[in-house]
Structure 1
Amino acid sequence: MIFVTGATGTVGRAAVDLLLEAGEKVTAVTRDPGRARLPEGARVVRGDPSAPATLEEALDGARAMLLSPRAAGRGLRDLLALAAGRGVERVVLLSAVTVVHPAGRPEFAAGFRAAEEAVAAAVPRWTFLRCADFAANTLSWAPQIRATGVVRGAYGDAATSPIHERDIAAVAVHALTGQGHDGQAYVLTGPHSLTQRDKARLIGEAIGRTVGYEEVPPEQVRQAMLGQGLPEEIPDRLLGSLADYAERPGPATDAVPAVLGRPALTFAAWAAEHAGAFRRG
């Protein structure tokens, strides 16, 4: 049985679907099963990875875990100790590309590095997925695009290689169920380096409408995000990374096709799949 934390998150949900398609038994953890809408076939349990004691019984029978350090928070080390004690031998950790390609504020990369170290110390078999920015992060632009057709943001020339969440999930499933991935740290990116302006343009092509990108000062973006009720950590992560990627593009690797045996999914494909989120009602 495979234990999935962050099962309702962007990657976790896709991983649950793929694991079930592969015939694996899955325990999906959520704080609110009634609202989770997880697929039939998954064993859905109520629990909080940041409070590991809530998962003690749910871990029975688990042999591998997909671990989101954000879901576990400060409970990560205790969760790993509990999981190892219950027989979990393999952990696939969702980490970040900034561990090896620094960008943004160093404390955020340090947090992912500490999570990697904790996993390696806790279980004999591990794989780290050091992910570039998720294509799904652009869903935060949806209200602006629907209302005005323009994204107002900072650092329009910041370039990354955004990755489709389904590719991350697919690599995670290979690592959880296959051979040859133990002790590996994969830097996972999409196939193309794109600026923020490029991403806005591709979303426009997906919805049949011109979408522009209007650059505004970073502090204005920060205050707007805080005004939406987001914690300070979110704009701090975003703006720090974009500032560096405006000076030096983020990496692009071939790790996804190397693991999956097929090309990585493009941002244009992601935008086409999610076009409904950006169209006017």
Structure 2
Amino acid sequence: MILVTGATGTVGRALVGRLPAGVPVRVLAREPARVTGAPAAAEIVRADYGDPRSLARALDGVGSAFLVTSRVGDDDERFVRAALAAGVRHVVKLSAAAVTDRRADDAITRWQRTTEDLLRGSGMDWTLLRPRAFMSNALSWARSVRSDGVVRALYGGSINACVDPRDVAEVAARVLTEEGHTGRAYTLTGPRAISAVEQTAQLAELLGRPLRFEELGPQQARTALAARYPQELAEAILAGAERQCAGAKAGVDVTVPALLGRPAGTFRGWAEAHLSAFSSP
């Protein structure tokens, strides 16, 4: 039995539809009604990391688990403790590429490093997936693209080897169902680094209409982020943008094509598949 957490999120939603037919799948969700795309035979259970009894029920009989957490705090520790008690053999953790950057010392990166250390010392088999930024982060521009034909971002000329989350999901499906991945940490990137300015140009070409890029200043970006996130997370995102501006996120890794046997997906390919989000109704 494979347990998938985060099935209403970017990677987990894509993962549940990519697991091989015939593999028993259980999906953990705080709001089961929001789970879409799961196989008809999948078992969908209501559980929360903060509820030990619900976690124990969700993990009963599970051999491998895909672990996604979105709240900085104790959720990972609670899950690992419950998985160990339930006899789970293998945990695949969605982490972040920044953990390998010694210059990264923000709240999000420290949290991911702590979780990685926790898993390595748990006694269970583990695999770490460390993606660069998701191409789907561009969806945050969709409203302004539709209404004003504008993309607004910080450090628009800096480049990031962002990855198609569908590739991350496909890697996760392989790691969960194939031998030979335990004790491995995989950095997952796209085929080349790209800037927000170039992403804007590609979106404009695909949409067939002009788009304008507007550079945000650091304080403008801080104000915008503070409206959406707690201060600690907003500051972590800003710190990541500073490191990107310094070139820390430009490196391209070959793991995605090596594991999947095909080139990593491009931003243009991702944008073509999600173009309706940027199109005016």
TM category, shorter:
over 0.9
Alignment of 1:204-219 (within 5 A): 204-219=204-219
Identity, in percent, stands at 37
Give CA deviations for 1:165-186 in whole Å, capped at 9, x if unaligned. 1100111111111011111101
* Structure 1 residue identity aligned to 2:189: T
* Structure 2 residue identity aligned to 1:245: Q
Alignment of 1:85-234 (within 5 A): 85-102=85-102, 105-227=105-227, 229-234=228-233
Contact 1:189-1:256 within 8 A present in 2 as well: yes
* Aligned position for 2:33: 34
Give TM-score scaled by structure 2 length: 0.93
Instruction: Please report how far the alpha carbon of residue 22 of structure 1 lies from its aligned counterpart in structure 2 after TM superposition.
Output: 3.9
Instruction: Please report how far the alpha carbon of residue 102 of structure 1 lies from its aligned counterpart in structure 2 after TM superposition.
Output: 4.7
Alignment of 1:1-16 (within 5 A): 1-16=1-16
The verdict on how the C-alpha distance between 1:242 and 1:125 changes in structure 2, with shifts beyond 3 A counting, is same
Give CA deviations for 1:135-175 in whole Å, capped at 9, x if unaligned. 11111111111111111221111210111111001111111
Contact 1:64-1:88 within 8 A present in 2 as well: yes
* Structure 2 residue identity aligned to 1:49: Y
Q: In the aligned structure 1, how far is the partner of 2:52 from the partner of 2:208?
A: 47
**Secondary structure at the counterpart of residue 238 of structure 1:** helix
* Structure 2 residue identity aligned to 1:186: Y
Contact 1:102-1:109 within 8 A present in 2 as well: no
Give CA deviations for 1:206-257 in whole Å, capped at 9, x if unaligned. 2222222111212112212333x43334432332211221121512111101
The verdict on how the C-alpha distance between 1:260 and 1:9 changes in structure 2, with shifts beyond 3 A counting, is same
Give CA deviations for 1:106-137 in whole Å, capped at 9, x if unaligned. 33222111111111122431110111000111
**Secondary structure at the counterpart of residue 28 of structure 1:** strand
Q: In the aligned structure 2, how far is the partner of 1:77 from the partner of 1:230?
A: 23
What stretches of structure 2 of length at least 5 have no aligned partner? Answer: none
* Aligned position for 1:268: 268
* Structure 1 residue identity aligned to 2:86: R
Contact 2:108-2:233 within 8 A present in 1 as well: no
* Aligned position for 1:81: 81
The verdict on how the C-alpha distance between 1:221 and 1:102 changes in structure 2, with shifts beyond 3 A counting, is same
Give TM-score scaled by structure 1 length: 0.93
Contact 1:158-1:243 within 8 A present in 2 as well: no
* Structure 1 residue identity aligned to 2:36: R
**Secondary structure at the counterpart of residue 122 of structure 1:** coil
* Structure 1 residue identity aligned to 2:229: L
Contact 1:94-1:129 within 8 A present in 2 as well: yes
Contact 1:164-1:265 within 8 A present in 2 as well: yes
Contact 2:155-2:215 within 8 A present in 1 as well: yes
Aligned-residue RMSD, C-alpha: 1.8
Contact 2:188-2:253 within 8 A present in 1 as well: yes
**Secondary structure at the counterpart of residue 59 of structure 2:** coil
Q: In the aligned structure 1, how far is the partner of 2:80 from the partner of 2:7?
A: 17
Q: In the aligned structure 1, how far is the partner of 2:209 from the partner of 2:55?
A: 47
* Structure 2 residue identity aligned to 1:279: S
Larger displacement relative to structure 2 (115-124 or 86-95): 115-124
Q: In the aligned structure 2, how far is the partner of 1:71 from the partner of 1:37?
A: 22
Contact 2:72-2:111 within 8 A present in 1 as well: no
Indicate yes or no: 2:59 matched with 1:59: yes
Q: In the aligned structure 1, how far is the partner of 2:12 from the partner of 2:24?
A: 15
* Structure 2 residue identity aligned to 1:237: A
User: Matched residue pairs, number?
Assistant: 279
Q: In the aligned structure 1, how far is the partner of 2:34 from the partner of 2:107?
A: 33
